[in-house]
């Protein structure tokens, strides 16, 4: 069964790279993209993704704030924080945000591994 993914990142380059990566694999489809947390909150209810890949540092609403609001919308949604700032995050802060996993942007194989584990 194909899993739908929403990409939320203010970098167009990152969104394009992730889209290309996942569209090259038949088990995933990109159902949408958002440029920040506010945009993600507007789109997610209509798109109903299985997974949201979420950047931390974004304008208007950061990734942790967005994750909290998304989690209030759906307790079943899988959220991965894909960030260049993973080393700056406090475990308690991540745990209370509703994020399922944190993956450094420098590690695409780890992102795939986390997705495989979380979307079983």
Domain at 62, CATH number: 3.40.50.2300
In terms of phi and psi (left: phi > 0; alpha: psi -120 to 50; beta: otherwise), the region of 112 is: alpha
- Rounded to two decimals, the pTM is 0.92
Does 92 have pLDDT greater than 90?
Answer: no
Range of the domain at 70: 3-118
Spatial contact of 55 and 85, defined as CB atoms under 8 Å apart: no
- Tell me the pLDDT tens digit for each residue of 26-71: 899 999 999 999 999 999 999 999 999 999 989 999 999 999 999 8
* Tally of structural domains, the chain: 1
């Amino acid at each position: 069964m194909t899993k739908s993914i929403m990409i939320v990142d203010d970098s167009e380059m990152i969104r394009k790279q992730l889209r290309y990566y996942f569209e090259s694999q038949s088990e995933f489809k990109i159902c949408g993209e958002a440029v920040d947390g506010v945009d993600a909150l507007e789109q997610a209810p209509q798109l109903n993704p299985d997974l949201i890949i979420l950047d931390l540092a974004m304008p208007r609403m950061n990734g942790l704030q967005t994750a909290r609001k998304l989690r209030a919308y759906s307790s079943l949604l899988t959220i991965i924080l894909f960030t260049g700032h993973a080393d700056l995050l406090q475990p308690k802060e991540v745990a209370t945000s509703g994020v399922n996993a944190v993956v450094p942007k420098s590690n695409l194989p780890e992102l795939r591994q986390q997705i495989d584990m979380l979307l079983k």
